[in-house]
Structure 1
Amino acid sequence: MDPKMEHILSTKKKLRKNTLGTILEQFDGSIMKLSQSSRKKKYQKMREDSYSFFRGSAYLFFFDVTEFPFTFHTPKDKPTWIMGDMHFDNFSAFLNENHDIVFDVDDFDEGYLGSYLYDILRMVVSIRLMSEKQGFSDKEEDELVDQYLKTYRKQLKAFQEGDEDPQYLQFTSDNTKGPIKKTLKKIEERHASHELDKQTVVDHNSIRSFDIGKDKLSSVSKQERDKLESAWKEYLSSLNPETKKYDSFYNIKDVVKKNGSGIGSTGLKRYYILIEGQEDEVHHDDIILEAKEARSPIPAYFFPYDEQFWEDNKHQGRRVAHTQHAMHHQADPYLGYFRMDGHDFYVRERSPFSKDLREKNLDDYKKFSQTIKTMAQISAKIHARADADIENGIMDYHSEKAILKAIGSNQKLFRHQLSLWSRHYKETVENDFELFKEWLIEQDYFKS
């Protein structure tokens, strides 16, 4: 290689690696304040493959994409609630408030108000990375991205024309195919005691408690439990009054720490809380809740400052709950929030009827295609539901109009440009992944 060109490429590589390192230090170090042990655990997961790296580096994604001059953004005065971290693994099957087993989005930690396009951009890159893991060709990868974008717009159009209503559309075993239908059918076979049997034991006095012998569960100190029980009053006050039961229903019977988490949640506090449930029944009416720490969402560091948003969302647990309420027409009846020891938390049920898709069921192109088309419909549904007015209880469902206007009449141009960009950015992620592994060695996280 020509020495000048070699110098140019090495300089480019060095600058990108420095950028990557600076962002990792700022977010995982200064902002999240992860210990060296927690960072090592997170980076161990991220270095498994480029898709895992992508999942764990949402801050790098937003650092990049907020600088791109896309023409398909909705205007600033027409925001929608976005997930902020939409990717293939943030969809799953679960039981909703009406006891229907559905497939939908399941992670709202990074929820924020902004342009729908950031969710779509992150999703199409994740489709490319996941399809590569499954061994699909570049041509098949392009087709899958195009199918997702085409289905997304088609579903928005159906909402706009009144053929379907985002308030009521849901995806069950009756209207899904392939891996999603298979996952939903599997859950339908479960017993209501599934999670209790998995996480708890009953002693000779018929008292149920968490099984500390289980992986990733550890005891809490008396002081920590006392703090949680004091904060529990705030949680009870945060519950939806229309679905809230009497206070003793939520009496705490046992608490444990939950260790281990998703890649992006490394270092956040998490508790499993066993509550009483129906007092006139035995054992199986005990319910497991999960309390997870919530921090400022990643998009907030890169989007323009919105004083009204922060005035309405000072409590980060409340913000996460609002995002879920906006996106799900049937929200978890246990969804609430509290503040403890200076940290914000949101609470949700640890449902016995919850299951992720299995990668081994996605290795067939047809099955993968069926899956991403349903994910596209869900993406359209949550964006059509979640306009800014949902915060104030005004459910007008007009977001689809603003999004369709932003996409424009030339939908082929929309699909073509986003497909080209996602192909380019996937290559960027793969290059960053290699730089990341080099940076880890340089920082002495792992030896070569």
Structure 2
Amino acid sequence: MPSLRTPHDGDRASLSRESKAELLRRARRRGVAGRSGMTKPQLVEALLDRSDQPAGRGSTTDHDVVAAGQGAHPAASRVEAFTRLAEARARGEMVFLPRQLSGAERRSHVRQTIREDHQTRIANADQEAQAKFDKLDGSTYSFFRGTSLLFYRDMAGEDAWMPTVLTLGDVHPENFGVMPSADDVPIFGVNDFDEAYYAPFTWDLKRGAVGFMLAAGEVGGHGPGRQGKIAAAFVRGYVAGMREYARDQDERTGQVRLDNAPPLIAALIEDALQDRSDWLARKYHDEYRRGFRADREHVPVSSRREEFQRALDAYVRTNRIAVPEDRTPGMRVKDVCVRLGQGTASLGLPRYYLMVEGPRADGSDDVLLEFKQARRSALDGLVPPSPYVVDGYAERITHAQGVHLVDGDRFYGAAELDGLSFMVRERAPYRDSIDLADLSKKEWSDYADICGRSLAQSHALSDESGLIDHDAEPEVLAAIGPVDLFVDDVVRFAEEAADRVRTDHAHFRADHALGAFTAIDHVFR
């Protein structure tokens, strides 16, 4: 059994007794470069060489927290404590979880976790970070979407005996949608991989069931009973999809397009289709079609074109992007803008749009690429230990997209800019998600079922394009067992978790009104 103490010089023997997976986790927390390709003896040597150094970039939540850690007192972090808690619970030890807190103690935990998760943004007095907190204040569903770390700290080490898959990490009704395929046609599927991580398959189902429950109540106006039925439809859709992929083994050919989509999704794809030239003119181009126009969402930074051209060239090389000459010959950057006010969890993190010139050179067929700063997954350090680890922030996200989607966006990749990790993807005219407010009573259950099946496909692909080295589907179905019991377990978890989110939101709103999220916690002793 791995030791929970941090090794120091002279602990070579104790390090050597640990599994490679545990050594990789230690190396990741200490920021050891090149750790993915190291053998077990090399990992031991690297950890011994760095044993007297402070934990590196992997030990923070909101990236490096450089600004937050400056000054006389370091910024508080409970990452290591929660990692030890998750490891202990995964071993079967009886531990106290933060979801068992109540009253003032729970309110303090909520405040500390949200501050810790946004240390850099708060310390830098980022205006978009404050806009995010205002957004979270106004909606329980938005609060749920923007506080993944809070949610997963309540699940630390959970379901350690369940099969591991590549989870999406942040399942909710609006993280499924229409996006471009490798052939530049619209497809439907999971569309946000920021939190993706190898974890028990149940983690996605539990978060997804809570997301559907909260959205159905707040957006759809459904009562508790109906919320439970919608969450159950999501879980049953997943089980049905997993059974299909276990039987037919066709997850690699299951791309959902306009010609084969269920009616609800076919309508979404049809609504999303629009002419690229009109789309560019309406939303992005200046009056001469030479670059971005300035508005409240887009701030042109044309002076940085050469810098972004170098970053784009490096991205093409390192990601081995097969440049489509019929779409982006030469990959020439025409203009760059800062994108403001987009997302929920990522508000306040740098995001840029690159306008790449199309073959006509008249602006009508330009391609937009998004550079979005990648961050540490909220699941990192909280999931039960497993040997499946992908190093790097954007690299992990890119890996997930490549696994979860069949022939997805050809421009998906990882880039580095200003010393930070960025995820790259295309912004297409037909990138869209469902309007939950427009769903009828029946359509809520239909949509939940569709999303459950889509998630099952993504999980089933874990052993096709992912790191899982055995058939995932039979294991998942065996772990599910009696379906009615499994569905009941997940829905009951979701009901309790949704009530907790509502209580946490009330705590957050009270603290936000008192200015709690304009400062971070520091260690004074």
> Which residue type is aligned with residue 111 of structure 1?
A
Which amino acid letter does the alignment assign opposite residue 356 of structure 2? I
Q: Which residue is equivalent to 1:181?
A: 266
Superposed CA deviations along residues 335-392 of structure 1, whole A, max 9, x for unmatched, are: 2221111101121111011112112211x211111111110110100000123x7356
Alpha carbons of structure 1 residues 335 and 397: separation in structure 2 relative to 1, 3 Å: farther
The corresponding residue for 2:442 is 366
**Cα separation, partners in 2 of 1:321 and 1:445, compared to 1, 3 Å:** closer
In structure 2, what is the Cα distance between the partners aligned to 1:241 and 1:228? 16
Q: Which string of whole-angstrom CA distances, capped at 9 and with x for unpartnered residues, describes residues 146-199 of structure 1?
A: 22211211111111111x6111113234444454332112123x1122431233
Cα 1:136–1:423, aligned 2, differ >3 Å: closer, same or farther?
A: same
Q: 1:257 aligns with which of 320, 323, 338?
A: 338
Q: Is the 8 A contact 1:338 1:344 kept in 2?
A: yes
Supply the distance in 2 between the matched residues of 1:321 and 1:34 (Cα, whole angstroms).
28
* Map of 2:512 onto structure 1: 440
Contact kept, 8 Å, 1:144 with 1:369, in 2: the verdict is: yes
Name the residue aligned to 1:165. 250
1:433 partner letter: H
Map of 1:89 onto structure 2: 174
Aligned residue runs from structure 1 range 63-78, under 5 A: 63-66=153-156, 68=158, 70=159, 73-74=162-163
- Equivalent-residue separation in structure 2 for 1:377 and 1:183 (angstroms): 17
Mapped partners of 2:167, 2:378: distance in 1: 12
Q: Distance in 2 between matches of 1:113 and 1:285?
A: 38
The range that moved more, 245-254 or 133-142, is 245-254
Tell me, in whole angstroms, the C-alpha distance in 1 between the residues paired with 2:214 and 2:512: 22
Residues 195 and 351 in structure 1, CA contact (< 8 A), matched pair in contact too:
no
Q: Does 1:418 align with 2:490?
A: yes
The change in CA–CA distance for 1:295 and 1:15 in structure 2 (over 3 A counts) is same
**TM-aligned CA distance change 1:154 to 1:397, over 3 Å:** farther
What amino acid is the match of 2:509?
Answer: K
Count of residues in Structure 1 that have an aligned counterpart in Structure 2: 416
Q: Percent identity?
A: 23
- Whether the 8 Å CA contact 1:332–1:349 is kept in 2: the answer is yes
Kindly provide the CA deviation profile for residues 24-57 of structure 1, in whole angstroms up to 9, marking residues without a partner as x: 1111115885635333211111111211110111
Structure 2 length normalisation: TM-score? 0.74
State which of 350, 363, 367 in structure 2 corresponds to 1:269.
350
Residues 82-134 of structure 1, C-alpha deviation per residue, up to 9 Å, x if partnerless?
A: 11111111111123123432221110111111111111110000111011121
Name the TM-score, length of structure 1 as normaliser.
0.86
Which residue in the other structure is 2:479 paired with?
Answer: 406
Q: 3-state SS of the aligned residue for 1:390?
A: coil
- Contact kept, 8 Å, 2:321 with 2:410, in 1: the verdict is no
The runs of 4+ residues in structure 1 deviating greater than 6 Å are 305-308
Contact 1:179 1:357 in 2 (8 A): no
Whole-angstrom CA distance in 1 between matches of 2:488 and 2:193: 29
Q: In the alignment, which residue of structure 1 is the partner of 2:380?
A: 300
**Residue aligning to 2:465:** 390
Counterpart-to-counterpart distance in 2, 1:38 and 1:242: 35
Structure 1 counterpart of 2:407, from 310, 330, 334: 330
Q: Secondary structure at the match of 1:282?
A: coil
Q: Aligned equivalents of 2:485 and 2:216: distance in 1?
A: 23
Q: Contact 2:292/2:300 (CA < 8 Å) preserved in 1?
A: no
Unaligned runs of 5+ in 2: 1-100, 519-525
Give, in whole Å, the separation in 1 of the partners of 2:277 and 2:458.
30
Asked if 1 retains the 8 angstrom alpha-carbon contact of 2:157 and 2:384, the reply is no
Residue 149 (1) aligns with residue 239 (2): no
Instruction: Tell me the residue number matched to 2:39.
Output: none
* Superposition map of 1:219-258 within 5 A: 219-220=300-301, 222=303, 224-242=304-322, 245=325, 248-258=329-339
Whole-angstrom CA distance in 2 between matches of 1:297 and 1:31: 17
Encode CA deviations 1:302-346: one digit per residue, 9 max, x unaligned. 23566872xx523x2222111100000112111222111110112
Classify 1:67/1:337 alpha carbon distance in 2 versus 1 (closer, same or farther; 3 Å).
closer
Shift of 1:256: 0.7
Residues 225 and 30 of structure 1: is their aligned pair in 2 closer, same or farther, counting only changes over 3 Å?
A: same
Give per-residue Cα distances to partners, 1:173-230, cap 9 Å, x unaligned.
4444454332112123x112243123333655xx521111x331112273x4443233
- Say if 1:137 and 1:217 are closer, same or farther in 2 by CA, change over 3 A: same
**Given the superposition, is the C-alpha separation of residues 32 and 97 from structure 1 closer, same or farther in structure 2, using an over 3 Å criterion?**
farther
Amino acid at match of 1:437: R
SS in 1 for 2:102: helix
Which residue identity does 1:167 align to in structure 2? R
Which residue of 285, 291, 297 maps to 1:209? 291
Q: Where does residue 69 of structure 2 map in the other structure?
A: none
Worse-matched range after superposition: 281-290 or 111-120:
281-290
Q: Distance in 1 between matches of 2:250 and 2:388?
A: 29
Mapped partners of 2:302, 2:513: distance in 1: 37
> Whole-Å Cα distance in 2 between the matches of residues 432 and 40 of structure 1?
18
Equivalent residue, structure 1, for 2:72: none
Instruction: Output the CA distance in 1 between the equivalents of 2:331 and 2:276.
Output: 18
**Superposition pairs for residues 69-148 of structure 1, below 5 Å?**
70=159, 73-74=162-163, 79-133=164-218, 134-148=220-234
Q: Which residue of 1 aligns with 2:283?
A: 199
Task: Measure the CA separation in 1 of the matches of 2:199 and 2:160.
Answer: 15
The structure-2 alpha-carbon separation of the partners of 1:375 and 1:403, relative to structure 1 and needing over 3 Å to count, comes to same
Which residue type is aligned with residue 117 of structure 2? Answer: F
Cα offset for 1:430? 0.8
| 1:72/1:121 CA distance change after superposition, 3 Å | farther
Look up the match of 2:144. 54
| Cα distance change on mapping 1:173 and 1:369 into 2, 3 Å | farther
**CA deviation vs aligned residue, 1:241-260 (integer Å, no higher than 9, x gap):** 55554985311111111111
